[in-house]
A = this chain, B = another copy of it.
Amino acid sequence: MPVRKTKRAARKQSTPATAQSLAKKQREISISEFFTKNRHLLGFDSPAKALLTTIKEAVDNALDACEDAGVLPDVLVEIRTVNGKTHTVSESNQSGTLELSQPGSKNNKHNKETKNSDHSAGVLAKTAAATTTTTATTAVTAANGTKTAGPVREEKYLIIVEDNGPGIVRKQIPRIFGKLLYGSKFHSLKQSRGQQGIGISAAGMYGQLTTGQPVVIISRTHPKTDAHRFQILLDTKKNEPVVDSDESIAWEKEHGTRVEIILTGSYKRGQNSVDTYLQQTAIANPHLRLVYRSPRGEETVFKRAAANLPEAATEIRPHPYGVELGLMARMLKDTKCRNVSSFLKEEFCRVGPKTARTILETAVLPPRKNPKRVTQGELQNLLESIAATRIPAPPTDCLSPIGEELVLAGLKHGIAADFYTSVTRPPAVYRGNPFQIEIGLAYGGQLPGEELARVMRFANRVPLLYQASACAISKAVLNSNWRSYGLQQSRGASPAAPLVILVHMASVWVPFTSESKEAIAHYPEIIKEIKLGLQEAGRQLKRHIRRRVREKDALKKQSYIQQYIPHIGDALQEILALNETQRSKVIHKLTDTLQRSRKL
């Protein structure tokens, strides 16, 4: 294929670059520019995924906030199609009319929500740029002259997520929703759904990018204070929030947060859909009450299956084994402790006076030395001494697993199978971070036998729907030997069986393969733990399958024996010269014995 050149291109090409010409092109890249261009890293690579990611980020935040505040979460998720007609008004910012599809009359019992949405609908109408967006991602005639698909019509949707959590303090709202890399969870070692301070602001940025609309936030922290309503945009060049409006309003809720984002998306059903995500969220969060209104106006209520909040996860300090040279150097510099002995005891978990003394003696560091004066050589010795010292594993109350019972209950509730089992592994550690693996299996029943087993992946109670093939969970499933549990499995593939495999990783820091948090990175310690869990559950499954095989065999044998009982009766009659009654009695007894052995 010959390469076509534009005139401008040909001109540019004739001058090779020099160090000077290259230097002129060097520029700083803002984090929001970076993620705008790399939006697939955040989970916004397709309209369907964008819709899901937005809901996921908002629900993650809602659940984290409720649990932090000790409130049983009551969450509303609503998706509305946004329709509007475009007018071509030239010098006005109000270029169209906007209609919000109403979720239908059957929602009368939810009067307060309806009221709220009316309120926001009004404001939306004021600012919305209206109309269904036509994007043209594939609307390109390829250079070789063949035509590719025409413009794809995507819809505009209004996403609403509302919780009954503690609310957000007014002055924090702009940065939480309008600045990437801002949050409370990044520096904290504790199991939580959010961890990076990117998710919800990225969702807002995506909405803004595709529709120009600001994020709307309503939040109230206490019945005695007013609710605040913000409209926030993100300045992508500076990665700073721009407050479009900020007002006190009346709100029915005593405390909580409501987020509204308008974006271009695509609503689908099926395996990777919002519906699946919410179902799985309900499985992994039995303490959640969730009301879901789909864009078609249907309302689904996921009832609370557990009356109590899961045991709260506690924040821990870093474990000495997980801290590398660079981080240790910075901790020494930043600490408020006056000597290295208290530094070790205060800044780390599992370091008591005895352990601190051992570490410092091995490192030949005086306990009263100022942390800020530790030289690089001493630092090196300190690290080596830590590695050589036996320190107990980090505490695991920073974790909040679902628990074997609730995993089982979730599976039974969601999946019609013959056999269920669940395993919660003891906590383990990777890179100094505690984590814990839970496994659930559902087998047989109405599950399709000819297909590959379905894998349900969870991280910190959040369902992972995309990038399955990149995930440590998938790798562990593929690399497990399912044949030894009586299942069929091709090389390099999942087992082919009527099987659902649930895997949950709970950790203070889940190492995701990208910012979109869709797959867990391949840390050997994590894969090993998952495989151990699968083995444990697999063995139980094997017992079940074997029992089934044995039962079948026994049935076969019994029916075989049963066939011969009358003949045995005849033979006995002949040998022992029994009369007819005695013969009947013997047959009856033999049959009875067989029946009873069957029951055993």
What is the distance, in angstroms, from A361's C-beta to the closest C-beta of chain B? 11
What is the distance, in angstroms, from A390's C-beta to the closest C-beta of chain B? 7
Q: Is A93 an interface residue (CB 8 A)?
A: yes
Q: Is B399 in contact with A30, judged by CB distance below 8 angstroms?
A: no
Q: Is B137 in contact with A424, judged by CB distance below 8 angstroms?
A: no
Q: Is A593 an interface residue (CB 8 A)?
A: no
- Chain A residues 233 to 288 lying within 8 A of chain B, measured CB to CB, are 236-237, 255
What string of 1s and 0s marks CB contacts (under 8 Å) between A492-515 and chain B?
111010000000000001011111
What string of 1s and 0s marks CB contacts (under 8 Å) between A15-27 and chain B?
0111110110111
Q: Is A325 an interface residue (CB 8 A)?
A: yes
Q: Is A102 an interface residue (CB 8 A)?
A: no
Q: Is B396 in contact with A4, judged by CB distance below 8 angstroms?
A: yes
Q: Which of B68, B143, B380, B424 is A394 in contact with, Cβ under 8 Å?
A: B143
Q: Is B377 in contact with A94, judged by CB distance below 8 angstroms?
A: yes
Q: Is B179 in contact with A379, judged by CB distance below 8 angstroms?
A: no
**Chain B residues whose CB sits within 8 angstroms of the CB of A6 once the complex forms:** 316, 349, 395, 397
**Chain B residues whose CB sits within 8 angstroms of the CB of A255 once the complex forms:** 19
What is the distance, in angstroms, from A267's C-beta to the closest C-beta of chain B? 18
Q: Is B377 in contact with A452, judged by CB distance below 8 angstroms?
A: no
- Which residue on B lies nearest to A385, using beta carbons? B134
Q: Is A212 in contact with B135, judged by CB distance below 8 angstroms?
A: no
Q: Is A314 an interface residue (CB 8 A)?
A: yes
Q: Which has the most chain B C-beta neighbours within 10 Å: A222, A311, A470, A494?
A: A470
**Chain B residues whose CB sits within 8 angstroms of the CB of A545 once the complex forms:** none
Known: A92-B377, A349-B6. A326 touches B396 (CB 8 A): no
- Chain A residues 1 to 53 lying within 8 A of chain B, measured CB to CB, are 1, 3-6, 9-10, 12-13, 16-20, 22-23, 25-31, 33-34, 36-38, 40-41, 45
Q: Which of B34, B211, B330 is A325 in contact with, Cβ under 8 Å?
A: B211
- Chain A residues 96 to 133 lying within 8 A of chain B, measured CB to CB, are 96, 129-131, 133
Docked complex Cα distance between A69 and B30 (Å): 27
Q: Is A324 an interface residue (CB 8 A)?
A: yes
What is the distance, in angstroms, from A437's C-beta to the closest C-beta of chain B? 12
Nearest 5 pairs between A and B by C-beta? A95-B377, A470-B470, A209-B326, A16-B70, A144-B426
Interface of A is mostly: loop
Q: Is A142 in contact with B19, judged by CB distance below 8 angstroms?
A: no
- Which residue on B lies nearest to A1, using beta carbons? B426
Known: A142-B393, A151-B387, A470-B470. A322 touches B68 (CB 8 A): no
Q: Is B427 in contact with A129, judged by CB distance below 8 angstroms?
A: no
Q: Which of B92, B181, B236 is A30 in contact with, Cβ under 8 Å?
A: B181
Docked complex Cα distance between A65 and B16 (Å): 10
Copies of this chain held together in the complex: 2
- Which residue on B lies nearest to A396, using beta carbons? B143
Known: A26-B172, A26-B176. A380 touches B86 (CB 8 A): yes
Q: Which of B95, B169, B236, B380 is A326 in contact with, Cβ under 8 Å?
A: B236
A-B pairs with beta carbons under 8 Å apart, 17 shown: A4-B397, A5-B397, A12-B315, A22-B169, A28-B182, A29-B196, A34-B181, A37-B509, A38-B512, A38-B515, A86-B381, A89-B377, A92-B375, A93-B375, A492-B492, A492-B493, A513-B513
**Chain B residues whose CB sits within 8 angstroms of the CB of A522 once the complex forms:** 45
Q: Is B525 in contact with A138, judged by CB distance below 8 angstroms?
A: yes
Q: Is A305 an interface residue (CB 8 A)?
A: no
What is the distance, in angstroms, from A405's C-beta to the closest C-beta of chain B? 13
Docked complex Cα distance between A95 and B4 (Å): 61
Q: Is A312 an interface residue (CB 8 A)?
A: yes
Known: A5-B314, A325-B212. A31 touches B31 (CB 8 A): yes
Known: A9-B395, A470-B519. A212 touches B387 (CB 8 A): no
Q: Is A491 an interface residue (CB 8 A)?
A: yes
Q: Is A212 in contact with B329, judged by CB distance below 8 angstroms?
A: yes
